[in-house]
Chains A and B, each alone.
Chain A
Amino acid sequence: MSWTKKLLRVNLSSGTCTEEPLNMQWANDYLGQRGLATRYIVEETDPACDPLGPDNKLIMATGPLTGTMASTGGRYSVICKSPLTNAIACSNSGGFFGAELKFAGWDMVIFEGRAASPMYLSIENEKATLHAADDLWGKSVWEADGMLRTKHQDPQARIACVGRSAEQGCLYAAVVNDLHRAAGRSGVGTVMASKNLKAVVVRGTLGLGNIDNPEAFAATTKAGKAVLAENAVTGQGLPAYGTQVLMNVINEVGALPTRNMRETTFEGAANVSAEAMAEPRKSDGKPNLTTNGACYACTIACGRISTIDRTHFSVKDKPEYWINSGGLEYEAAWALGPDTGVDDIDALTYVNFLCNEDGMDPISLGSTIAAAMELFETGAITTAQTDGVELKFGSAEALCWAAEATAKGEGFGRDLGMGSKRLCEKYGHPEFSMTVKGQEFPAYDPRGIQGMGLAYSTSNRGACHLRGYTVASEVLGIPEKTDPLESDGKAGLVKAFQDATAAVDSAGLCVFTTFAWTMDDIAPQVDAACAGDWSTERMMEVGERIWNMEREYNAKAGLTGADDNLPARLLNEPANSGPATGRVSELAKMLPEYYEARGWTADGSVTAETHQRLGLPG
């Protein structure tokens, strides 16, 4: 089994918490987490609804392997309609919150309606209670976390919370759990705050016992851990360097988007790399990186635990930041660093702390600040808007100021909180926005890694690396090497990565396992945990079903094939440095191939035949 077969429905309008059986037919078709929760969203909401209105629902969902000893089996996702993209949002987080929810006996929590005043939910095993949160409103995630711990007198509680950015309507606000793990993308935190829901405190002591075949599960999970330990990426690279191992690698292949994606290599990359994080600094002789940390059950442990140089301008008068906390991951380091032209690792770490403290997606924040810097450079924004701050590429001071203003929703921070697309439209230069479907790009330039251009343009949640990470194949050679500058064959590659990732997410596992694991390593673990036969083929079919269901949701939300696009910069302005020099994204060639591989019409609609083959709802 491995599902608890129970869900908690919390109606914030009426203040009720009710238990329901999980729809096991849907669990068979959509597995859990991302897939299963999206199935509920499709069933229960109108895709055309206002994402910030009471008709949108928000689901915190675990997978069948969440809470088990399968390596990385601690993931949960937050699923809702996104206010940033108006498409489906599904943001995945690690830490310990998801497993705790499972130990309390719940597969998922569905939040509906909107509370009249700020509330938080506490879950103690079967007991779920809504409490007033007026005192927590206006507090950062870190402050609220401390206040809730004091109130509940339970150091072992796990807390997911939104920060001030979400309350202020920042459209890329995150849900932060365990202080520095985040369901980061697409503004799921904004939706949570729009429901007047500040936090969820969970404590589970029931545990998880209903593994379908315990002996097979012990054997397959142990074998899986051995594969991770022996792999160079998951066994050595990620624990030692974290995802930041990529900074110098991606710069060298000429795919490190720089200064709002105008360039594809960054001269300061080495200064903000994993290697730089390990370098002792002058002031106290300590490196930025203190140690690596793991999420629940993870035997990889890629997480960074870092400090900021106490003498750095950003924190020298702020001892509250002289602590260890979640450090720079690659995507955050890129967005806050190369994309803004800033190569000051302490400034980046400080802004990363702010993103955790007040719940902002660092990718969208960094990319939006980068767009604002380009607007400033052209004169579309002046110091009149920025309180006199010179918002220039490369300015660490400007970066820190912009992040602080956005975290609190003050002044120009409110404009930055709209995201790059709306910001650039407001100031008359929509072409400066590096977004797909309104969501900012992550850290791979589609001119230098062709598959990623197709993956970004077709991602169901807007530009994203975690929906189809073809970088694995195109740069790292996993599972096999393909040429990053070549667009031939990328349609099939993108489809395969997208489907596999949807299944991995839905199991409750971390996609980083797939640097080492193939579906042949994952399916046996799911099969041992869950009733029924879960083969590699079935997992891939479930992934494909989920992908198409998300696509149909987006179509009903008003998105079309025309939204499978990239900014003109990436299609028309050739890369001007590094190995990709002279290249543009060959999206126009790849997209029809992709639609065909998907069994969609030439304009990107799911055909009736594909709909029927996959048994999609509606």
Chain B
Amino acid sequence: MQKSLHIDPAKCTGCLQCESACSLENEGIFNPSKSRIKVFNFHDEGRFVPYTCTQCDEAWCMQACPVDAIVINAETGSKDVLEDICVGCKVCTIACPFGTINYNTSSGKVVKCDLCGGDPACADACPTQAITYVDANATGLDKMRAWAAKTDNATS
């Protein structure tokens, strides 16, 4: 069963545990500036929104790459960057409509979320379940449950 990262911004407190965990997993150090998941603080609105790659099926980044450095991970469904092949041309960063693939000046390659190979550190670190890793075929389950709860059984 493939899984997806599922984000519920209403549960996010903006603590950045996800960014720390992501950088620790992928860079070996605590460094939110290198995190593949970012939490946006819309201060005036009082909202925190985590955002990362949705792993599009027809991924723009993958299609745009001139050297085929972005490939599908058959097991997890993630689109992974092959660092050995990536030439750092950044065309993928232009192609991605969501901004979730970015150039890393220290490596000279692009980086994006690879679901940590199937055990995403961000979801593990999130203290409020704002980020979960769930069945990719049922990411709407929580919303369905919420609406189902509003059903009035008496009228059926």
Contacts and interface: CB of A to CB of B under 8 A. Distances in A.
B20 A299 contact: no
Nearest to B20: A69
B118 interface: no
A171 B20 CA distance: 37
Contacts of A325: 43-44
B31 interface: yes
A604 B126 CA distance: 48
A168 B14 CA distance: 34
A307 B46 CA distance: 9
Contacts of B66: none
Contacts of A71: 127
A208 B30 contact: yes
Nearest to B128: A301
Given A207-B27, A299-B127, A294 B13 contact: yes
Contacts of B14: 293-294
Interface in A499-549: none
B31 A293 contact: no
A281 to B, nearest CB: 15
Interface residues of B, number: 26
Could you tell me the dominant secondary structure of chain A's interface residues?
loop
Nearest to A2: B30
Given A295-B15, A299-B17, A207 B46 contact: no
Given A103-B33, A206-B31, A207-B34, A291 B15 contact: no
B43 A323 contact: yes
Interface in B109-152: 125, 127-128
Nearest to B34: A207
A69 B15 contact: no
Contacts of A295: 15
B48 to A, nearest CB: 7
B34 A205 contact: yes
B43 A179 contact: yes
A204 B33 CA distance: 8
Interface string B12-51: 0111110011011001111111100000000111111000
A129 to B, nearest CB: 19
Given A290-B46, A324-B45, A96 B16 contact: yes
B28 A209 contact: yes
Contact of B31 (A205, A291, A301): A205
B2 to A, nearest CB: 27
A156 interface: yes
Given A69-B24, A324-B43, A292 B13 contact: yes
For chain A, give the interface size range.
Answer: 35 or more
B116 to A, nearest CB: 14
A377 B43 CA distance: 40
Contacts of B29: 207-209
Contacts of A17: none
A507 B24 CA distance: 20
Nearest to B24: A69
Contacts of B48: 291, 293
Contacts of B15: 294-299, 301
Max chain B Cβ within 10 angstroms of own Cβ: one of A156, A209, A295, A323: A209
Contacts of B24: 69
B132 to A, nearest CB: 16
Nearest to A302: B13
Given A225-B127, A307-B46, A325-B43, A301 B30 contact: no
A255 B59 CA distance: 62
A229 B47 CA distance: 22
B46 A67 contact: no
Contacts of B44: 323-325
Interface string A170-213: 00000000010000000000000000000000001111110000
A305 B44 CA distance: 10
A209 B127 CA distance: 22
A68 interface: yes
Interface in A288-329: 290-299, 301, 303, 305-307, 323-325
Contacts of B20: 68-69, 297
Given A297-B20, A298-B15, A299-B17, A67 B30 contact: yes
Contacts of B127: 71, 225, 229, 299, 301
Contacts of B28: 209
Contacts of A307: 46
A298 B33 CA distance: 18
Interface string A145-175: 0000000000010000000000000000000
Contacts of B45: 323-324
A184 to B, nearest CB: 19
A291 B33 contact: no
Interface string A54-89: 000000000000011101000000000000000000
A96 B48 CA distance: 14
B17 to A, nearest CB: 6
A69 B46 contact: no
A207 B31 contact: yes
Interface in A193-246: 204-209, 225, 229, 239
B32 A103 contact: yes
A507 to B, nearest CB: 15
Nearest to B42: A324
12 contacts: A69-B30, A205-B34, A207-B33, A229-B127, A239-B13, A292-B13, A295-B15, A296-B15, A297-B15, A297-B20, A324-B46, A325-B44
Interface of A: 67-69, 71, 96, 99, 103, 156, 179, 204-209, 225, 229, 239, 290-299, 301, 303, 305-307, 323-325
Interface of B: 13-17, 20-21, 23-24, 27-34, 43-48, 125, 127-128
Given A207-B27, A207-B33, A291-B46, 7 more contacts: A68-B30, A208-B30, A296-B16, A297-B17, A299-B127, A324-B45, A325-B44
